[in-house]
Amino acid sequence: MSLNNAELDAVYLTLALASITTVLLLILGTPLAWWLSRRRGNLSAALEAVVAMPLILPPTVLGFYLLLLFAPNSALGQFWQQLTGSQLAFSFSALVIGSVLYSLPFVVQPLQSAFQRMPQGLLQAAATLGASPLDQFRSIVLPLTRRSFITAASLGFAHTVGEFGVVLMIGGNIPGETQVLSIAMYDAVESLRFVEAHRMAGALVLFSLALLFVLYRSDGYSWRVRA
């Protein structure tokens, strides 16, 4: 039982979307998580609430607002059109932006709590030894929170793979451009192609199970300070 070309396209697209999203999330999420872990106040609380919103909001709601935002006649849509010469709505780029927002809490929250558990004293000691703030982050924080980075990246990746509602709203269902696995599978069910649907559903189940199994076995959630 092997996947046909359309399905392979969907697999490829899904992996590309999840990979790009994960990389972007680590780049954006790390400083955001660091900032949130250092501050206590109204601004940080508000920002935390915004970051956590995709956890409880129906994906279709987020997708709906993004659709309005990305529309060709919106400010962002026009700006994008001028910048790249192609429209934003129903494009792969739109999917990436949507996925980044949608999976943000899955990356930011593990990182933020890891940074909060990070003993301040170690950073102070590093500073007295001549380590600049960036150096402290690279030489002390990163190695000590490595597991949380793995957790964050895995969750971000897996959650993007499992995304459906947002993609449906802003991506449409364009094979090779925006038709990811979950959409392709939905499409197959809609048109009563159950064999195909089975293959794709089974692949997603196996993938999720394997990823979570590896994650839990690596003890990624129980980072402890060895003082």
* Residues in touch with other proteins (CB under 8 A): 119, 121-122, 124-133, 135-136, 139-140, 143-144, 225-227
Closest CB to other proteins among residues 55, 125 = 125
Measured from the CB atom, the residue of 83 and 227 that comes closer to other proteins is: 227
Report, in Å, the least distance between residue 107 CB and other proteins.
22
Least distance in angstroms from the C-beta of 122 to other proteins: 6
Considering beta carbons, is residue 21 or 151 the nearer one to other proteins? 151
Distance of CA 112 to the CA centre of its chain: 15
Which of residues 145 and 179 has its CB atom nearest to other proteins in the complex?
145
First to last CA, the chain: 53
Alpha-carbon separation of residue 117 from 23, 45, 200, 206 (angstroms): 24, 18, 40, 33
Amino acid at site 46:
A
Q: How far is the CB of 125 from other proteins (least distance, A)?
A: 4
Shortest CA distance to 169 belongs to which of 16, 40, 66? 66
CB of 227 to other proteins, least distance (A): 7
Q: Which is nearer to other proteins, 85 or 121 (CB)?
A: 121
Taking the complex as a whole, the smallest distance from the CB of residue 224 to other proteins amounts, in Å, to 10
- What lies within 8 Å, CB to CB, of 20 at 6+ separation is 96
For residue 54, the 8-state DSSP code is: G
C-beta atoms surrounding 224 within 10 Å: 8
Instruction: Indicate the residue type of 131.
Output: A
